Structures are given as structure tokens and as C-alpha cells.
A and B are shown apart, each in its own frame.
Chain A
Amino acid sequence: MIATVDRRPLVNLTLVRWHLIASSIFLAISLLGGLAYAFQFNNMYPFAGIEWLSPGRVRMVHTNMAAYGFIANAFIAGMLFAIPRLTKRPILSDQLGMLIFVAWQLCMVLTIGGQLLGYGQAIEWGETPIFVDPLIVVGLVLLVVNIAAPIVTTAENGLYVTLWYFLAAFAWTGLVYFMGNYLPQFWVPGTAGAAITGLYIHDLVGLFVTPIGWGLMYFFVPLLLRKPIWSHALSLIGFWGLAFFYPMQGVHHFLFSPIPMYAQYGAVVATIAIEIVVLTVLVNFFGTLHGRSEAVRGNLAIRWFYTGMIMYGITCFQCAFQVTLTFQKVIHFSDWVVGHAHMVMFGVFGFWIFGFFVELWPRAVGRAWVHPRLLTMHYWFTVIGLILMIIDLTAAGLVQGYSWGALSHWSKSVMDSMPFWWVRSVAGLMIIAGQVFFFYALWATARRPAEGTVPAPIPAEAA
């Protein structure tokens, strides 16, 4: 076998940069969509009367761009950075990487266009138009081939937990996407289709976003803290626990629905069982932080990561309760669930992604951050805005749930929600104000004259 010397850079920073740029653009689109949609609830929708900017269609853009535009792009960037550095192998092909990048953004644009023109699909979290779905599946397969190649061919012995999580996500994502977008659409109607949709809603979070998110955390947090993870064994237990319990909890999105009750009970039990798994992961990370907690103050990326982890703890704790039938009676269909979704998708994974940005953007553009203070402002505006939104929506959910249960006229639940919806809009404005700082800092950093030196690497000591 002839070994050829490969002189490509280990990490293709150009690809990382483009994915980060795309991620921030779709974040902006998603946030503006969310804000516009929130204004509908204050009866001051800015685009009223315009068919293709109808609030219902804009909401689809909001959720889909958050998941596939913002989170997926940033995660691809993170994996493009982490995988070569863990395996000492570059990705399979840089050209293929660029092709996937272009194809993925094309899918996103087609999704936005399709949804605004009325071709949205009635699958929650899978509203991508039917004609985009095959493209996305092909894109996912190509992506997996491209970035799983280094993991498969690596000469390293003993996989680090990050790679376990990535491999898991690779194995599941295509399957999940196909299952959720095609079975209920073409073959399985009604209640059985709803069971599969429930699986899809949950598997998207559980088998795509969660494993990649945690994988990247296991990579970045020890390096930034300059301290190995507390227990690698525990991290593997957490991983396998996720692998075995996460795929079984889909139906908990449709409790008390006409889906057979046994499936609902199975979902509830599996959901509560996974809380143990979540606990092991959190214990591991806070065990790692123990003794280095000053880094939360000094290192912004670490602060984002651990803020996200606290949010994760709260989310999962909340989940163990809200999945019980007792809670479902009141909170299902209400704004409580909306608050929960924002806490997971933005409060956990969004915050982690901001941490990745803090760390990766200077490397990707070859310049140090221009205005670190702006990033601090971004942190506080975003965190306070989001916490305000979550508390507000959770409270609104309880008000709505009890109002419905008490058989008051429907208008009462709407009227009583009004003040909450105002607070929600204000919280959304606050989050967006934070992102303005962020986008400006990104732009200014990229525009800064090059200094000719490589920016400071991941700090050896958490400053």
C-alpha cells in the first residue's frame, strides 16, 4: 500500500467559515420571522394582507430555519472543525464539502420559498416542501460520507466519546428524516401516522441535534478548560443510555390522543427513564468544571456552554414532569410547550452554538475578536431575553390550560394571554437586540485588517 503524503490543511477553515456565515444569516431570518409572528398575537402584524408573508407561513420559516438553517449549519461547521482534529485525518474531499455547503443552502432557500408560496408540508419540524425532502436526504448522505470518512479510516485507537455521538447522529439522521417526512405523508394516515410524526418530532431533537450538540461539548469544554472530562466511562454510559432510550419516546407529543394508549404509556416510561441518562451527563460536565469555575466568568465560550447546560438540566427536569398524564391534562396545547421548545432549541443548542462562534469565528476568519464587550452584551441580552420569554410562556401556558379546563369561553383564554403575548414580543425584541451586537461583532471582526498572525489558539489557560 502506497502512503501518499497529504498536504491539505487538516481543518478546512474556509468551509467552517462559510457554514458559520450561513448559520448566522439563517439565524437572522428565523429571528425576524419569529418576531413578526409574535406581533400577530399583539394584532400588529407588520405584513398583514400580504399572502406570501401570512403569519402561518412565516412561522414555518421561523422553526425550519432555526433547526435546519441555524443549528444544522453551525453543527456542520463544528464537526468540520472537530472531526479532523480528533482523527488526524482531513475530511474526504474539500470539493465535496463545498458542494454540500452550496446544496444545503439551496435546500434552505427552496424551503423558505416553498413555504412562503404555500407548499409547506403538514409535518411538525418537517414543514420543508415535499420536493425539497429528497434533496435534503441526499445532502445528508453526502455529508455523512464526507465527514464520517476520517472517523472510519483513523489510525487512532479507542474512540473519544465525541466521535461516538457523531457516529450515532450519522446513523440516525437519514433514517429519521426519511421516516418522518415520507411515511405519514404518503402511506400511513390518521392516528398511526400521528405516532410516526411524534417519533419524528422527538427524534429530530433527540437523534440529530442532541448527539451532535453533546459531541461538540465533549470536544470543546475539556480543551477550553484545559482539563480532561471528569469521567470518560460515565460519558459513554450517558451515550449508550441516549442511544437506547431516546428512540422510544415519540408518542409523548400526542398524549391523550386517539393513538393506542399502550404506545403512550411506553413513551412516558422511556421519557422518564432518560432523565437518569441526562443526570449522568450533567454530573460529568459539572464534575469537569469543579475547581475551574472561574472560567465561567473569564471565558465567554465556557459561559455560553455552561449556561446552555443549566438550561438543558431545567428542560429535561421539566420534561420528566410535563410528560406525565397529570401535567398533560393542563399544559398540552398551551404556550407552556412553546416555552419548552424555545428553551431546548435556542436556550440549549443555540447557546452552545454561540459558544462555538466565540471560539471558531476568530479561527475561521483569521482575526481576533474586535469588540469583546459587544459579545458580553450579546450574552446578557440574549440570556435575559430568553429567560424572560420562558417564564412568560410557561406562566401563559398554565393560565390558558386552566382557563380551557374550567370551560370558560374561548375568548377568555385569548384575552388572558394578551399581556403574556406582549411580554413575549418584548423578550423577543430583547433577544434580537442582543443578536444585533453579535452580528456587528462578527462583521467587524471579519472586516478588521489582517495582522499577519494567527489569532490566539484555544487559550492554554482559561483566562
Chain B
Amino acid sequence: MERFGVTFLVTGVVTFLLGFFLQGLMPVLTMRKVPIRTVQEVAASVPAEFYQLAEDYPVEFQKSFGTPDPTSFAKAIQQGRDIYISEACWHCHSQFVRPVANENLRFGPVSQPNEYQNEMMLPHLFGTRRVGPDLIRESGKRSNDWQVAHLYDPRSVAPYSVMPSYTWFFDKDKRPTDRALAVVAYLQWLGSWVKDGVVTEPGLPAAGGQG
């Protein structure tokens, strides 16, 4: 029994490592030549929507992030990403565009591996379910106002939506707090690096929806 047991333990661990090598490490090795960019490097190019956000909500923005620049942008998208995770947004919104099922026509250019090689994708937020649409090409598709209203009451701008209201992102005067602004900044960042070829939502909205 003892010798058989040892044989087993070795093979069990070895098969695990083999699987880990083929399915886990090989993709890591494939990506090794693409440097992992830091949040600061990623945030160096601030999208226009972030400057717009500072103009849309000047008081709140000033209080939360100060002036719109790469430093405040880095802070905003990190906070937005953390809220995105803690509210488990990624359970209902994916973050990659597949090369099939007309997804390039619906969302925009197909996702490339190097887009995800940065610290903002640690952990990655690919997601496995789409109740709502994919978000990796969200930047610039909708205005900041739309995003803020949608967070407060999704059905006010997309009547068919089943998304929850995130009223706790807002103060008692229904003004956005730093949380709402951070999430909007994060959403406007997603895909800001590939503005070319991004398409608006196809098809006619059903029953008066405009989302």
C-alpha cells in the first residue's frame, strides 16, 4: 500500500502540473514578450470623456478627484475597477469581444491579447455571462450623463433593463459621489485605446428603449 500510495501522490501531482503547464503556463509564456504595463502607464492617455466628466459634475469631481489629469485618472479608474469587482458587475457584463456571432459588428474590434496585459486586468474581468452587453468597447459609446443616470436608475434610460439601481453611489440630493464618478470613469476608460471601428448598438430598441 505505501509504495502504491507514493506512486499515486506523485502521479496525481504530476498530472496536475502537466495540466497547469499546458493550460496555464503556456499562455503565460506566449504573453511574456508583451510587457505588463502599470496603472500609471495605462492612465497616461486620459480619454476626453474624463475631462468631460470634470465639466459635467464640477463640484463633485473637484471634491473626489481634484483636477482631471493622468494622476487623478489613475486613481479614478482604480477605484472604479474595485467597485466594479465588489458589486460583481462582472457576473452580468463580460469584457471581451469574440470573433464570432457578429460581435465585431455589435461591439467593435475583436479583443486582442495585448490589450489585457496591464495591471488594471489583475485580476482579469473576462466574465462568463452577458445579461447586459459586453463593456470592453464601452468608452465613448454613451455620454457621462447617460452613465450616471443609468447607475442611479437603469430603467430611466433603458426601460427594459433588469440591472439593479446603485443608489448608494449617490448622496441624498441624488448627486453622484466619488463612487459613481469612479465607475463612470472606469467605464469610459474600457476600450478608450481602440476608438477606431467602435460601433454603436445595432438594431431598433424594443418598446421605447434607447439604451
Contact = CB atoms under 8 A, between A and B. Distances in A.
Interface of A: 40-41, 43, 45, 48-49, 51, 54-57, 59-60, 118-124, 127, 151-152, 154, 156-159, 164, 167-168, 171-172, 175-176, 179, 183-186, 188-199, 201, 203, 207, 243-244, 246-251, 253-254, 256-260, 262-263, 266-267, 325, 328-330, 332-334, 337-338, 401, 404-412, 414-415, 421
Given A118-B86, A119-B86, A415-B206, 7 more contacts: A189-B36, A190-B121, A190-B122, A249-B19, A257-B98, A401-B101, A409-B209
6 contacts: A189-B124, A190-B117, A193-B123, A248-B18, A251-B23, A333-B129
Most A Cβ at <10 Å: residue of B27, B28, B94, B116: B27
B99 A57 contact: no
B91 A329 contact: no
Given A195-B24, A195-B27, A247-B16, A185 B122 contact: yes
Nearest to B34: A190
A56 B168 CA distance: 14
Interface in B87-105: 87-92, 94, 96, 98-103, 105
- Interface size band for B: 35 or more
A120 B27 contact: no
Nearest to A183: B24
B129 A338 contact: yes
A215 to B, nearest CB: 14
Contact of B111 (A51, A257, A334): A257
Contacts of B99: 256
A171 B13 contact: yes
Contacts of B94: 333
A184 B124 contact: yes
B106 A404 contact: yes
A412 B202 CA distance: 11
A394 to B, nearest CB: 14
A96 to B, nearest CB: 21
Given A193-B123, A248-B18, A260 B26 contact: yes
Contacts of A333: 94, 127-130
B20 A405 contact: no
Interface in B37-92: 83, 85-92
Contacts of A179: 20, 24
A181 to B, nearest CB: 10
Chain A to chain B: the 8 pairs with minimum beta-carbon distance, closest first: A247-B19, A190-B116, A409-B203, A56-B88, A118-B86, A333-B130, A256-B98, A171-B12
B87 A57 contact: yes
Interface of B: 1-2, 4-5, 8-9, 11-13, 15-16, 18-20, 22-24, 26-28, 30-31, 36, 83, 85-92, 94, 96, 98-103, 105-106, 111-113, 115-133, 155, 158, 160-162, 164-168, 201-207, 209, 211
Contact of A167 (B9, B92, B117, B120): B9
Given A159-B1, A329-B100, A337-B128, A414 B23 contact: no
Contacts of B164: 40, 45, 48, 54-56
A259 B128 contact: no
Contacts of B100: 256, 325, 328-329
Nearest to A248: B19
B128 A253 contact: yes
B101 A415 contact: no
A120 B88 contact: yes
A118 B87 CA distance: 7
Contacts of A49: 165, 167
Kindly name the residue among B30, B101, B115 whose own CB sees the greatest number of chain A CB atoms within 10 A.
B101
Given A191-B27, A263-B26, A167 B5 contact: yes
A266 B24 CA distance: 11
Given A192-B27, A334-B130, A337-B128, A243 B88 contact: no
Given A184-B123, A409-B209, A127 B9 contact: no
B87 A54 contact: yes
Nearest to B4: A159
Contacts of A43: 155, 162
Contacts of B127: 333
A326 to B, nearest CB: 10
B107 to A, nearest CB: 10
A190 B23 contact: no
B126 A412 contact: no
B83 to A, nearest CB: 8
A193 B122 contact: yes
Contact of B117 (A56, A57, A175, A189): A189
Contacts of A337: 128-129
B116 A258 contact: yes
B96 A258 contact: yes
A124 B133 CA distance: 19
Given A247-B19, A248-B18, A404-B101, A40 B162 contact: yes
Chain B CB count within 10 A is highest, among A119, A127, A259, for A259
Nearest to B102: A407
A118 to B, nearest CB: 4
Nearest to A151: B5
A41 B16 CA distance: 39
B52 to A, nearest CB: 24
A267 B22 CA distance: 9
A260 B129 contact: no
A207 B128 CA distance: 21
